[in-house]
Each structure stands twice: as C-alpha cells, then as structure tokens.
Amino acid sequence: MEVNFALHMKKKPKKVIIIGAGIGGLSIAPLLAKENLEVEIFESQENVGGRANIISENGFTFDTGPSLLNYPWVYENYFSSLDKNFYDYVELIKVDPAVNFLWKDQTNLQLSSDLNSLSDEISKFSKKDRHGIIDFFKSSQKKYDLAFKKIVTKNSSNVMSWLLNAGINNLLSLGLTNNMYSEINKFFEEKKIVEAFSSYSMYLGDSPYKLPGFFSILPYGELQYGLWMPKGGMYGLVNGLKKLNQDFNVKINTSSKITKIIIEKNKAIGISINNEQKYADLIISNVDSETTYKELLGLNVKGYKMTPSVYTYYWGLNKKVDTLTHHTIFLPDDFKKTFNELFSKNKIPDDLPFYISIPSKTDSELAPKGKSSLFVLIPSPVISKYSNNNYIEKSFELKELVFNRFVQNNIEIKKEDIIYEKILTPLDWKNKFGLFDGSAFGPSHNFTQIGPFRNPNKSKKIKSLYFVGASTTPGTGVPMCVLSSEMTKEKIIEELKV
C-alpha cells in the first residue's frame, strides 16, 4: 500500500532551518513547505537575495550581482511544481538586442535571439559562418537537451552513473573530448565569434581552453531562450520568490547572522544565533560550502578551485547613454593570454576584460528621468591568490582602465558624468555576503568539480546537513540555484521517507 508522504508529514511535521536567503534558500523553502515541513530561514543581511541583492539610492536602482535572467523555462517549471504561475509573481521584459561584444578595433558582435538577425550579424564576418551558426545550434541543442533532461538535474553519487544517464550512445556528442574553445571553433571561421562564445567560461571559473566542450551550451541557451530582465531589475525575481515564501508560510528572519551549526553525535541539530540556540531536524546551508564547513563547523575540507572574484561598480550617470545596448562585454586583443593571466598566473589581466550593464535602458524606472544606472563588473583572482592587498586603491586603478577603454571604443561616458558611485571589492564580497575567498560564482566547473565531483547536496561529514545554491550541484548561476533547490529537496524527501 502506497504511503501518502504529505499526509504522513502532517502527523509528524519536521522542523527545517535554512541558513541564508539567497536564490537557493528562497527556492527550496516553499518546496519543503509544500511537503508540510516547518521551514524557517535565517539571513545575515537586512535584505534577502544573497549576492543577488539590491542597491537603491538617490533615485538609482542597481542589482548587486546577476544582471539578466536566462532560461525562463526553469522558473516556469519551478513555480508550476508548486501549483503557481511564475508570471503572477514576476514580470519579465525581453532584452533584445541581447549581449554586444566589443573589441578595440571597433569590431562588434551583437547577439540576438532572433535567428535571422543573428545570422545577418554573423555573416558580416564570414558568409560561411552564416551556415556555421545553424550547425552550432543543431549540435548545441542536442547537448543542451541531454544535459538538462539526463545529466544536470540528476542526483548521482558516482561518475559512471552520472554519465550513463545520458545513454552510452550519446556520450561522444556531449563534447567531453574537446575543450570549450575547440568545440565552438568547429563551427566558425571567424575567431572573434569563437572568442565571444567562449568568453562565457569566465563565469564558470576557468579558461575555455581547459573547460569541457560540454559548456558550449551556455551561449546556445541564451540565444535559444533569450535574455530577460524582471521588472524592477533582477531583484524583481527575488521579490517574487519572497512573496512565494510568504504564500507558503515560510518564516524569514533577516539581520540574523548565524555563528555556528550545533552538532551532537555527528548530527546537525541546530544553530547558534545572537547568543541563543535554535533547534531543528534538518539544517540546510545556502552559504558557500567551504564557508559553512570552516566558519560554521570549524572543519577543514577539500579545497575547490574557485571562480574569479570581482570588482563591481555602481554608477548613477547624469545622462542617458545612447551608444550602448543593455549589456556590453569588452574583450581583449589577446584572448588566450588574458585567460592565462587570470586563471594560471592569478593576476588581473593587463588587457582588461569587463562587462557593463545599463538596466535603465530596459526599465526606465531604475534611474531618474534623463539619467542612467550603470553597472560594471571586472574579474579578479580570488583573495588567497592575489598579492595586492590594497583593494580600494586597486579599484581606482581599474576604474581608470575602464574609462581608457571607453575612449578607445568611442563611448561617450566620462568620469564627470558620475553623480552616484558605490564600489564593491573582492574583500567586500567576502565580508558582506560570505562568499568563500571572495569568489563571485562559487566553485569552478572544470570536469573534476561538476556532477558527482562537486560538493554534494547532502553532507558526507555531518548527518542531517544539506546544501543548496551555487556551491553544490548542479552549479553556478541563478537558474542552476533554482534547479539545485529541486535536487536538494528530492534528496531530503528520499531520506525522510527512509
């Protein structure tokens, strides 16, 4: 006779404490509440959202971290699993033209989710590449579908079962025998196109010459499903998730910094906060796994290679910016050297790669009338790998390099145009948001740190301790954190049934 699990939990509800109200924490709480668990979140900051936070001052509004929403189907499916409609909680605005790549020689590549527009843009480099983009789409679609249906969302304890989820006949088509750059290079003659599509590896935490070719699905996913911005910026998604938690009666405590996870007989049984203890049947950490083990448990654990840290700048400009689209990535002349400097030599590249986002171009309410909100992100080695300890001074040096590049690309933004400024350095990201070693996106995604090699969502060291978010499976990025919540919930429900 089949047991109704939800009915069973009504008779004996379990208490769950979630540490951190980032995207992962906010996503898993309603899933567990729907299963009739009693769920309470503790967040150290005044606002929920974690690294996906908000700055709102002097009429300007900025997202602190993620600046665009991709893979909308992830959110649609997630809300649907809770018998809710995503669009009742979050209003999306299409961002198209999408990402614009710029080189110093004034060459640009403007991406679009409209295949005809994209083909025209690609063909300005090479007529053959017009056919290449079609072949790239066909190959990437197969990888993408295999990835999300068979691999990425599966809880697997060993590498063979993880890979075999895709089916033996499909393994070679995943691009695992190539690196990311080589996999993309198969389809295009023009190296600038290959560089643009390969540059996504920056946020995966390694060079495209080292990451598996499997990750060529990243540019494809954005092109196929488009880029979007929630009304009000990415924090509109956070607000939607917050409302969802309220609808499922999840209690959220902000300005509540947890100092310790309480362990008894190798089992997590509670937390210490503000000199008091709170107890639960299960503890879920939405804090980076290494921070959790080292700072909340006092344990040494395996050190993961981390994604880069970042310097981020939030500028309120006294004018509109007509020469740029919403999202622009500035690429270097020597692409391979830049990635080698960042990931092998652990230095900020001499030829600075960076991106800027102007959210007020898509949602005019994010800046006062006639003005612009502008966000700049510059990758940097993580704190432990970086020899320069004067982060404030370095942030000013990097700001000069950004404006030098503006001049080179004939972009009419001057320092005098800034009427509001806030800067977050790698140290700020570590101290304010608990990001391990200042890493902006969590552990990197080289082959030995994905799937069953990544920090598992159920602790192998401590009973009743689970993880959710960028530091566990499936990986970094906002949609991955939502998928992470579903995977961790699945693991918890399996354990509770046993």
**Cα–Cα distance measured from residue 489 to residue 475, given in angstroms and rounded to the nearest whole number:** 16
| Predicted TM-score of the model (pTM) | 0.94
pLDDT of residue 204: 94
**Cα–Cα distance measured from residue 244 to residue 389, given in angstroms and rounded to the nearest whole number:** 41
- End-to-end, the C-alpha distance of the chain in Å comes to 16
**Cα–Cα distance measured from residue 64 to residue 237, given in angstroms and rounded to the nearest whole number:** 13
404 CB neighbour count, 10 Å cutoff: 11
**DSSP collapsed to 3 states, 313-344:** EEEEECCCCCCCCCEEEECCCCHHHHHHHHHC
pLDDT of residue 475: 93
**Cα–Cα distance measured from residue 266 to residue 465, given in angstroms and rounded to the nearest whole number:** 10
Question: Quick one: tokens of 314?
Answer: 């939030």
**Cα–Cα distance measured from residue 362 to residue 358, given in angstroms and rounded to the nearest whole number:** 8
Q: Of 114, 119, 122, 75, which Cα lies nearest the Cα of 98?
A: 114
CA 407 to chain centre: 30
Question: Quick one: tokens of 480?
Answer: 């991955």
The parts of the chain modelled with pLDDT lower than 50 are: 1-3, 5, 7-9
CA distances to 163, 283, 356, 360 from 371, rounded to whole Å, are 50, 45, 16, 8
Alpha-carbon torsion 358, 363, 365, 369, what sign?
A: positive
pLDDT of residue 8: 46
Burial zone of 84 (CB within 10 Å; 0-12 exposed, 13-18 middle, 19+ buried): middle
Q: Residue 465 in contact with residue 459, Cβ under 8 Å? A: yes
**Cα–Cα distance measured from residue 68 to residue 237, given in angstroms and rounded to the nearest whole number:** 10
**Which residues lie below 8 Å from residue 20, measured CB to CB, with a gap of 6+?**
41, 42, 43, 44, 50, 285, 286, 287, 434, 469
Which structural domains are found in the chain, ordered by start? 114-225 (no CATH), 307-436 (3.30.519)
